[in-house]
Amino acid sequence: AVCTEAGMFALRERRVHVTQEDFEMAVAKVMKKETEKNMSLRKLWK
């Protein structure tokens, strides 16, 4: 998921190479999605 997101960030800026910054933004995005997913599951089980 992280590599795909990093590639998408590069493509959106019309680049053919993925940078460290792309990976950092991708990790942040994936971690945010996981946190939101966990929050909704916790609400479901309460």
Task: Indicate the domain borders of the chain.
Answer: 2-45
What is the C-alpha separation between 26 and 32, in angstroms, rounded? 10
What is the C-alpha separation between 36 and 44, in angstroms, rounded? 13
pLDDT by residue, tens only, the chain of 46 residues: 999 999 999 999 999 999 999 999 999 999 998 888 777 767 777 6
Give the pTM: 0.76
pLDDT value, residue 3:
97
pLDDT value, residue 37:
78
Q: CA torsion 10→24→2→13, rounded to 10°?
A: -10
Q: What is the DSSP letter of 7?
A: H
Task: Find the farthest-apart pair of alpha carbons in the chain and give their distance in angstroms, rounded.
Answer: 46
